[in-house]
Structure 1
Amino acid sequence: MNFNEKNIDLETIIRDEVNKYLNQDVSRLNATEQAPKELTQKYEKMPIPKVGRDIYEVLSELNNEVLTYLYRPNHKRAFSFIPGPASRLSWLGDILTTANNIHASNFKNATLPISIERNLINYLADKIGYEVKPSGGVFVSGGSMANLTAVVTARDRKVSLDKLTKTTVYLTSQTHHSGRKALHVAGFPSENIRIIDHNEDFTMNVSHLKETVEKDVKNGYIPALVISTAGTTNTGAVDDFNKIADICEAYNIWQHVDGAYGASHLLSTKGKSLFKGIERSDSVTWDAHKLLFQTYSCAMIIVKDKNNLINSYGEKAEYLDDITSDDDVIDPEMLGIELTRPARAVKLWLTLQVIGEDEFRKRIDYGQELAEYTKDYVESLDDFEIISQPSLSILSFRYYNDSFTDEENDHLNNLAAKKLADSGYGVAYTTTLNNKKVFRMCTINPETTESDIKETIDRLNRYILEEVKEK
């Protein structure tokens, strides 16, 4: 073993790096910045040295290059994707759990961190409307892993593996792509994935779902799973869980709700009214590294009956006999895919304990208010139109001038989004809705102001008008 670390004053270095971060004003940095090609090549081809390098030289590269060219999801003018405006309390929790190198697989290895995880799963299950017993769940890396965990659980509960070729699943074009990825990994044939129409507000068309299920049953298929969404990434749309549950209960279908983004609105004042019937679902994906303001990665899969998780993931290993729990105390490794796993729940617990639920509610409500402000401001501008109304904290809009072709208008919207990102001031990338290129904004950062939104939209407008003048 190389003990070169003994010659390094790590205590001072760590203190200096932490202070540097604490004194950093992210809003003064570029919201996004792309690394030049020469740096990409430098790090892709950098050799591993036979003899270690000077730590200050390596830290200089890390701080001035590697950590400079990034998309910053915690920037107050980062409106694309689902931003990750993480609390510094979460960051602190991350530091402390990582420093202790916790192996959070079972109670005997990490009794209190896992007790915290179990407590938070119960807290969140109650917010969904599940009974604390027999509901359960586990913290995972993100929405993709949560969706995969749910899909495999649903498969094992509803169909035998030898009948997968006759098993059908249902989702819309607005379902997050991780749902389709999970279905592929779980072995569902792609030709058995039914894409259900969506309504004008981008929610699942329940009439089409019912017709499709009935047709499949008539043709000898086994409907097994519907993936509904609580807050789609594109528009923030929330499906009608009650109507979907009626169909699922009639045909013995598992309803999984992908609430990676939207489920946190169950803590809000206004948004939670959209979630009626979510308690009738069988499982819910919920990301804490979105609207619960946690650092990556921190997400949960929560099921109405934890025995279904145990059925899929409760394998036995002899070398774990001495540390395996029994009775009502179920080790996390028996509820999901991971054995080696960090104590993700601790940082969320720290944040909730210090900030409190009321403050979370205020922050989530504020994001919805900002979305409404964005709508009002866009509507005050010439040649701009709202494409999807604010839902939760997401809306979309576009520049449209009937003097130009659809292709030309799409080009103008794309160009303005690129120029905004290149400037570093903010990020409001486009998406495609109804075959139109549109700006999409997600306004969930508690530090974002109305001035930030106004200036972002003004810049988009200015970039477009500059291009129009040159035509």
Structure 2
Amino acid sequence: MTMEFKEKDLDLQNIITDEVNKYLKRDLSTLPASRVASPELINKYEKMEVPEDGRDIYEILNELDSEILEYIHRGNHPRSFSFIPGPGSRLSWLGDILTTANNIHASNFKNANLPISIERNLINYFAGKLGWPIKPAGGVFVSGGSAANLTALVTARDEKIELKDLHKATVYISDQVHHSVTKAFHIAGFLKKNIRRVPVDEDFKMRVDELDKIITQDKKDGYTPVLVVATAGTTNTGAVDDLNKIADICESHDTWLHVDGAYGLSHLLSTKGRELFPGIERVDSVSWDAHKLLFQTYSCAMVIVKEKQHMLNSFSEEAEYLTDVQSDDDVIDPEMIGMELTRPARALKLWITLQVLGESQYRARIDYGQELAELTESVVSEMEHWHITSKASLSILSFKYVHPSLTAAQNNKVLSNAAQRMASSGYAVTYTTELNKEKVIRMCTINPETTKDDIIGTLNRLNEFVIDEVEIVRS
């Protein structure tokens, strides 16, 4: 005897088909790039109770379409230029639907042998792009750059120091490092007082001369330098640290070199490719987000290490109830080299996208993003009172407004207010960041559906908002 459940009475096949078709037909450029819900709507959903007998599904779908999914920041909008947007391919979306529908548990080879074979294949493919031998390199797909950085930092920690001596461990970052790295240090047990922030040069790259001095002094003071985190494509400016010189320093001090390439490393697939990252083949580990410039939906990222054995040393555990599903020695299961046991088959959607589009389409898309950034730089350079703060690099640039009759504080306020007005208008998202203690607009132009008219229209509107804010300040 089986129970009859309400779900079986729903016409889910047609409902799912209709919903998918509706989203496929959307023109995102006609929708607001960002929209914030009212306090009343927020209160409605925060206090909504779970009904005893359930509600009509079409009523729920109406709430999803008209409210819940309407008031969001649309990272895949062609005029979403902040936060390093995630312009997910519809092919990736297809992969999400298929892997979710099959509810794949991708922890070990026997649960999902072909999805995991594909994951191993892609890790090898991207390791090759880094210039690493397929063996002994290895890695695993994770949720995002935060998990990737944490996984790499734990691996480096366990390779370079005994846990009983962790209070002596020092680690090194620049002030342009992503905040997920400092969070990962905390989780991995590194003491906050032992985190060294290395200054950057005028191009916002880590100063390698200062790095060497700080490490040398730490060793004299009895510390154990464990890890340097360099960046290949900083969030603020797209800057790439001097990996060759940093690698020289790390080798001389027996220190692990991790590169946070969550955003930038996808440019390895561009026309310029490896020449953008000289020395990348010398690092010990990298983080790499596919849900940024590899055009995947959230979440899909990788951590890759030059020596897979190091990850195995940190994350492999015996579990009696897994004995029957553990793989043979020649296949290392994902759960043995990462934190997750329960995990989806994240690599499958990336594999679908790569197989359908091919390298040439990826190369064209990534190159186009850089072209848009260079166009933005060219247009801004001709705008009155606007100045480029960081040139177009890896499809990112920063610029600021400086009116000669206003103070620095007033110019900062003008720019912040203009950015808020832009987002509130729904036309585009161009939020500010801070460089050298000044407010700047930062734009990331990686969406292949962004047009040159989108760029020019956004800059013209931003300039209009700024001019209006200047008048408000001066009145």
Pick the TM interval, shorter chain: over 0.9
Q: Tell me the equivalent position of 1:461.
A: 463
C-alpha distance in structure 1 between counterparts of 2:127 and 2:231, whole Å: 17
C-alpha distance in structure 1 between counterparts of 2:271 and 2:17, whole Å: 40
- The answer as to whether partners of 1:371 and 1:394 remain within 8 angstroms in 2 is yes
Q: Tell me the equivalent position of 1:9.
A: 11
The alignment of Structure 1 onto Structure 2 pairs a total of residues equal to 471
Give the Å deviation of 1:7: 1.3
Q: Which aligned runs of 4 or more in structure 1 are off by greater than 4 angstroms?
A: none
C-alpha distance in structure 2 between counterparts of 1:308 and 1:370, whole Å: 40
Q: Tell me the equivalent position of 1:386.
A: 388
Counting only pairs closer than 5 Å after superposition, residues 321-360 of structure 1 correspond to structure 2 as 321-360=323-362
Among 138, 141, 160, the residue aligned to 1:139? 141
Give the Å deviation of 1:271: 5.4
Q: Tell me the equivalent position of 2:288.
A: 286
Tell me, which stretches of 5 or more residues in structure 2 are unaligned? none
Among 203, 209, 212, the residue aligned to 1:210? 212
Among 78, 88, 91, the residue aligned to 1:89? 91
C-alpha distance in structure 1 between counterparts of 2:317 and 2:432, whole Å: 44
Q: In the alignment, is residue 75 of structure 1 matched against residue 53 of structure 2?
A: no
Judge which range, 5-14 or 111-120, deviates more: 5-14
Q: SS where residue 259 of structure 2 aligns?
A: strand
Identity of aligned residues (%): 64
Q: Tell me the equivalent position of 2:20.
A: 18
Q: SS where residue 322 of structure 2 aligns?
A: helix
Q: Tell me the equivalent position of 1:427.
A: 429
Q: Tell me the equivalent position of 1:239.
A: 241
Q: In the alignment, is residue 401 of structure 1 matched against residue 403 of structure 2?
A: yes
Among 260, 263, 266, the residue aligned to 2:265? 263
C-alpha distance in structure 1 between counterparts of 2:210 and 2:314, whole Å: 31
Counting only pairs closer than 5 Å after superposition, residues 120-131 of structure 1 correspond to structure 2 as 120-131=122-133
Q: Tell me the equivalent position of 2:115.
A: 113
- The answer as to whether partners of 1:371 and 1:395 remain within 8 angstroms in 2 is yes
C-alpha distance in structure 1 between counterparts of 2:17 and 2:470, whole Å: 52
C-alpha distance in structure 1 between counterparts of 2:42 and 2:330, whole Å: 51
- The answer as to whether partners of 1:167 and 1:222 remain within 8 angstroms in 2 is yes
Equivalent AA in structure 2 for residue 89 of structure 1: L
C-alpha distance in structure 2 between counterparts of 1:13 and 1:421, whole Å: 33
Give the Å deviation of 1:2: 6.4
Give the Å deviation of 1:464: 1.2
Q: In the alignment, is residue 188 of structure 1 matched against residue 190 of structure 2?
A: yes
Q: Tell me the equivalent position of 1:295.
A: 297
Q: SS where residue 404 of structure 2 aligns?
A: coil
Equivalent AA in structure 1 for residue 216 of structure 2: E
Counting only pairs closer than 5 Å after superposition, residues 47-62 of structure 1 correspond to structure 2 as 47-62=49-64
Judge which range, 441-450 or 268-277, deviates more: 268-277
- The answer as to whether partners of 1:286 and 1:301 remain within 8 angstroms in 2 is yes
Equivalent AA in structure 2 for residue 245 of structure 1: A
Q: Tell me the equivalent position of 2:175.
A: 173
C-alpha distance in structure 1 between counterparts of 2:421 and 2:471, whole Å: 16
C-alpha distance in structure 2 between counterparts of 1:468 and 1:63, whole Å: 38
C-alpha distance in structure 2 between counterparts of 1:2 and 1:281, whole Å: 57
Q: SS where residue 102 of structure 1 aligns?
A: coil
Equivalent AA in structure 1 for residue 333 of structure 2: D
Give the Å deviation of 1:10: 0.6
Q: Tell me the equivalent position of 1:148.
A: 150
Q: SS where residue 34 of structure 1 aligns?
A: coil
Q: SS where residue 437 of structure 1 aligns?
A: strand
- The answer as to whether partners of 1:256 and 1:282 remain within 8 angstroms in 2 is yes
Q: SS where residue 297 of structure 1 aligns?
A: coil
Give the Å deviation of 1:272: 3.6
Q: SS where residue 135 of structure 2 aligns?
A: coil
- The answer as to whether partners of 1:259 and 1:284 remain within 8 angstroms in 2 is yes
Q: Over the residues paired in the alignment, what is the CA RMSD in angstroms? A: 0.8
Judge which range, 263-272 or 84-93, deviates more: 263-272
C-alpha distance in structure 1 between counterparts of 2:273 and 2:74, whole Å: 26
Q: SS where residue 292 of structure 2 aligns?
A: helix
Q: SS where residue 205 of structure 2 aligns?
A: coil
Equivalent AA in structure 1 for residue 310 of structure 2: N
C-alpha distance in structure 2 between counterparts of 1:18 and 1:125, whole Å: 35
Q: SS where residue 291 of structure 1 aligns?
A: coil
Q: Tell me the equivalent position of 1:370.
A: 372
> If the length of structure 2 is used for normalisation, what is the TM-score?
0.98
C-alpha distance in structure 1 between counterparts of 2:340 and 2:417, whole Å: 43
- The answer as to whether partners of 1:153 and 1:308 remain within 8 angstroms in 2 is yes
User: Which string of whole-angstrom CA distances, capped at 9 and with x for unpartnered residues, describes residues 77-135 of structure 1?
Assistant: 00001100011000001100000000000010000000000000000000011110000
Equivalent AA in structure 2 for residue 9 of structure 1: D
C-alpha distance in structure 1 between counterparts of 2:272 and 2:311, whole Å: 32
Q: Tell me the equivalent position of 1:275.
A: 277
Q: SS where residue 111 of structure 2 aligns?
A: coil
Among 260, 285, 306, the residue aligned to 2:308? 306
Give the Å deviation of 1:319: 0.4
User: Which string of whole-angstrom CA distances, capped at 9 and with x for unpartnered residues, describes residues 130-156 of structure 1?
Assistant: 110000000000000000000000000
C-alpha distance in structure 1 between counterparts of 2:242 and 2:470, whole Å: 42
User: Which string of whole-angstrom CA distances, capped at 9 and with x for unpartnered residues, describes residues 290-322 of structure 1?
Assistant: 000000000000000000000000011010001
Equivalent AA in structure 2 for residue 95 of structure 1: I
Equivalent AA in structure 1 for residue 280 of structure 2: I
Give the Å deviation of 1:224: 0.1
Give the Å deviation of 1:270: 2.8
Q: SS where residue 227 of structure 2 aligns?
A: strand
Q: Tell me the equivalent position of 1:225.
A: 227
- The answer as to whether partners of 1:271 and 1:392 remain within 8 angstroms in 2 is no
